[in-house]
Structure 1
Amino acid sequence: MNRRLFLSALLLESGLLALNACRPAVSLPFFRDDPSLLPPARPVLPDKGVLLEKALEHERQMGERHLSLEGLVLYRVREKEPPTLSLADAAIWTGCYVAAEAFRWKVTGDPEARQRLMASLNALHLLHQVTGKKGLLARAFRRATAPARGEKGRWRQGKRRHEEYRWMGDVSVDQVDGVFFGYAVAFDLLDEPTVHRETAETVAAVADHLLEHQMQIIGRDGKRTKHGDLGDGFFSEDLNALIALMIMKVAHHITAEPRFAAAYRRLITRKEYHLRAAAARDKWWEYFVGTNHSDNNLAFLAFYPLMQLEKDRALRRIYRRGLRRAWEVVRVEANPLFTFIYRALTGAEEARASARAVETLFHFPGVKRNAPVDQSRRRDLCRSIWRDRLGRRQSCAPLPIQDRPADSFEWKENPYRLKGGGDGMTRFAGVDYLLPYWMGRYHRFLNPRQ
């Protein structure tokens, strides 16, 4: 190689390294941030009960404004006109709240936790019943006998026993992922035969619907929903293979029906879903278009019940490889939900990541409002030249939780975001605090005195 060619190659490699130096982490096996470069966590005051007090405050707010009479999570509530009518993610966040309250009930034995758990479990059942089609879930529902002004989304009127409800259609695999996550946690932590029987009925109906339609979610109109593909088509994502395996594994665990165990094995032996699941968070195109942080959240929710239920050592090794791939990217985010799930499934200590996850809970807002936030002009922040997948400017490293704009569920958002918010008159539910907090308490990663 002559000198000119050598210098050109050196300049090109230096340029690429410079670009990556200010690039947020991406979900690729060759791109990993070094956790040793992270700043150490600031100490959280011990024995002050700050985390518990914040959990109880978010529980209070849930009871006052973020739960419908049926137990559905109203994750976004306006404090002035116009009212909130679009709650397209009510199913997934209700599933997450069911899991949070199941952990809380198991840890504390608090009657309020059991009461809310039972109510929100019934809301999950009603998401199925209100559609009038066996195996089809709604995204959300509300009491109304006619369309409301400003109603957005594919709303329908309930039939027969549910005429007093309107329900939102076009359910996605995201929603089913959260619902089955909630069912899986609650089923094992709430030992009540009636609850188990009702849960088994709904879970079996949803799983059978998928099997009858080649792993597709078919709406009331007879067509596949927009994001309802869990099949093995050319354009189907590997993440959906992970979710499909989790659904069938949970369905067999809850119902004990052999057909779901057989379906699980077919997805592995004939479709190689286990290998696709291991690659769920390896998306080469994210290097160019930005990381889908919502998919990170969906993957961790799916891994939690799947790996807890799977006993086959060979499959566990494959799933653990996929979980490790996902973790290597998000470990820099000080994300308590991902950290606690990873620790629970692997037994890894992850001392630095765990300390920073606790710090995130410590600084998590006690009230979540859509107040305007703009960190884009701060001179102390490295601003990446790479924009996120929504075209927004972002930082080179994740921002501390107290510097980010509030969101409906923090762990599905971009932790590098610099701007966001609104008029400050929308309040968000604190399910994203309650789930990791009570999960951390259940797995003894946290203590009640923190």
Structure 2
Amino acid sequence: MSKRFALARSRIRRPEEILEQTADEVRARLLQRHLPHGTILDPIFEAPDSEVVAAYSRGGDSAIWTGHFLAAETYRFVATGSADAWYAIIRCIGEMRKLVDVTGTNLLARGWLPADSPWAASVAVEEEGNGIYSAMLDGAPAVWIGNTSRDQYLGFLFGLSVAFEWIYDEGIRADIRDLVTRTIEFLLDKDWAVRMPDGSISTVFWHRVDQRLAILQVGRQVNDARFSKPYRNERLLGSAQTIPVIGLEVLDDHSSYFKFNLIAIAMFSLIRSELSDTHRGRYMTAYKVYRRTVDDHGNAHFNMIDRVLQGPDERRDAETVELLLAWVRRPSRDFSIDWRGVVPECGEDRACDPLPVEDRVRTDFVWQRSPFQLHGGGDGYIETAGVDFLLPYWMARVYRII
């Protein structure tokens, strides 16, 4: 082997090296710029090429993405044993508690900020349609975002469930148990209707037996004495109903694509903790209806959920690595894309085939955006937190795909 060839070969970075470096860089950026008050927000910069933060955005999704970030940090700790990850988990749970404390009723807030935060005004303007409420939190004035949706609950509890599964410290588990119990008790007390302080209902879980079961399963996981009976009662008739419910959801594989992330994290919480072979079999049947719909969508997050629930698969697992490498090629800012007239189209704003990951719409969590979407995005002012990379990457590390 010539010295020139050997030198060139030594400079070729292996995929695992690229991914590890990206994970470190994305996490460092997230910690520096996306947690101004402890829960996930996305910065708005003065210009697309500026590093100066002018405001913050996407405060209405703090609960769901902070939950996903907690899951990512948990898998990071499992993969590395890092003390930094350990303390990040503790901090994250403490900050998530504020999303429940701030409302004063155990209602989950979409997001919150100190009233005197320099970012409070811009977030309040953007989230005005969801309702901005004043409160006291830890003795200081605060504002919180209402109109809480089902996806905020599911993402919030997803993260806490993952942390409880893998972290055996009794102090941390006690904190998770208390937070999950308060959150679910609120839903049960309100008969699965999410009521705001003025009595209005922002959403209900009445039509989603799969989501009710998933939430109660998380409750049973962390507090069996309190939630085992409600879960079993719901499961008695509900487990079989999950099949038609999900079957109806997947009829449209493009519109409201975020629904597929909700199915993924709900079934993940539901199936992996199920002890009954009969009911687990029903849940798996429902899950496979969903999985057959999305298994060719090029989705690293969904692939990792499938790895946990269905075990190793050489083709899928190799694809996951390639999808994560494709994510690395995406810009971190929300520059617009428009592939209309460029790729074959099969309907309004729909490509015939999934777009490559690097060509998809720039957004906060790419895996919940339709891979067929032809155009969208912004002007490059908003930066993504990168939780959509960190979560599947660290799951892949834990399950030895990388």
Partner of 2:168: 191
| 1:179-258 equivalent positions in 2, closer than 5 A | 179-225=156-202, 227=203, 229-231=204-206, 236=207, 240-257=208-225
Match of 1:445 in 2: 401
2:44/2:57 contact within 8 Å kept: no
Aligned to 2:127: 152
Take 2:149 and 2:239, find their aligned partners in 1: how far apart are those partners?
Answer: 21
Aligned residue pair count = 378
> Map of 1:52-67 to 2, 5 A cutoff?
52-67=20-35
Q: Check 1:335–1:164 CA distance in 2 against 1; reply closer, same or farther (3 A cut).
A: same
Asked which structure has the greater CA Rg, the reply is 1
Give the alignment partner of residue 325 of structure 2, picking from 348, 359, 362. Answer: 362
- Aligned position for 1:293: 257
Aligned equivalents of 1:397, 1:127: Cα separation in 2: 39
Aligned to 2:239: 274
One-letter code aligned to 2:227 = F
Q: Report the alpha carbon displacement of residue 420 of structure 1 after superposing the two structures with TM.
A: 1.5
Contact preservation (8 Å) 2:43, 2:57 = no
Q: Distance in 2 between matches of 1:47 and 1:171?
A: 39
> Counterparts of 2:132 and 2:31 in 1: how far apart (Å)?
26
Root-mean-square deviation (Å)? 2.1
Aligned 8 A contact 1:130 1:162 in 2: no
Distance 2:319 2:399 in 1: 17
Q: Cα distance, 1:145 vs. partner?
A: 4.3
Match of 1:395 in 2: 351
Question: Which of structure 1's runs of 4+ aligned residues deviate more than 3 A?
Answer: 44-48, 160-163, 284-287
| Partner secondary structure for residue 59 of structure 2 | coil
* Higher percent of residues as strand: 2
Distance 1:406 1:249, change over 3 A: same
1:327 CA displacement: 0.7
Matched, 1:136 2:102: no
Contact 2:102–2:137 (Cα < 8 Å) also in 1: no
Measure the CA separation in 2 of the matches of 1:290 and 1:363: 21
Q: How far, CA to CA, are the matches of 2:241 and 2:150 in structure 1?
A: 16
SS in 1 for 2:108: coil
CA distance in 1, matches of 2:16, 2:187: 48
Q: What is the deviation of 1:115?
A: 2.2
Secondary structure of 2:247's aligned partner? coil
1:410-440 CA distance string (max 9 Å, x none): 1110111111222111111100000000011
Give the corresponding residue for 1:103: 75
Deviation at 1:88, TM superposition (A): 0.8
- The match for 1:329 is 293
Please say if residues 337 and 436 of structure 1, whose CA atoms lie closer than 8 Å, have aligned partners that are also in contact: yes
What is the CA distance between 1:220 and its match in structure 2?
1.4
Aligned partners of 1:175, 1:445: CA distance in 2, in Å?
29
The aligned runs of 1:403-418 (5 Å cut-off) are 403-418=359-374
DSSP 3-state at the match of 1:420 = strand
1:386-423 residue CA offsets vs partner (Å, 9 max, x unmatched): 23xxxxx1211100111112111111101111112221
2: CA distance, partners of 1:151 / 1:339? 33
Runs of 5+ in structure 1 lacking a partner?
Answer: 1-43, 388-392
Letter in structure 1 aligned against 2:186: H
Does the 8 Å CA contact 1:157/1:163 hold for their aligned counterparts?
no
- SS of the aligned residue for 1:364 comes to helix
TM-aligned CA distance change 1:430 to 1:280, over 3 Å: farther
1:307-322 counterparts in 2 under 5 A? Answer: 307-322=271-286
Q: Is the 8 A contact 1:323 1:342 kept in 2?
A: no
Larger deviation, residues 294-303 vs 187-196: 187-196
Deviations 1:276-311 (A, max 9, x none): 323343227944x94431110011111112111101
- Output the CA distance in 1 between the equivalents of 2:63 and 2:382: 20
Q: 1:174 to 1:314 in 2, by over 3 A?
A: same
**Which structure's residues are more often helix, by fraction?**
2
Aligned-residue identity in percent: 27
Counterpart CA distance in 2 for 1:59 and 1:284 is 34
Compute the TM-score of the two structures, normalised by the length of structure 2. Answer: 0.88
Q: Which residue type is aligned with residue 267 of structure 1?
A: E
What secondary structure sits across from 1:84 in the alignment? strand
CA distance in structure 1 between the aligned counterparts of 2:393 and 2:334, rounded to whole angstroms = 22
Deviations 1:324-357 (A, max 9, x none): 11110111112111111112111251x3333222
Question: 1:254 deviation in Å?
Answer: 0.7
* Residue 172 of structure 2 is aligned to residue 172 of structure 1: no
Match of 2:39 in 1: 72
Where 2:73 maps in the other structure, the secondary structure is: helix
Select the structure with the greater relative contact order (CA < 8 A; seq sep ≥ 6).
1
How far apart are 1:68 and its partner, in Å?
2.5
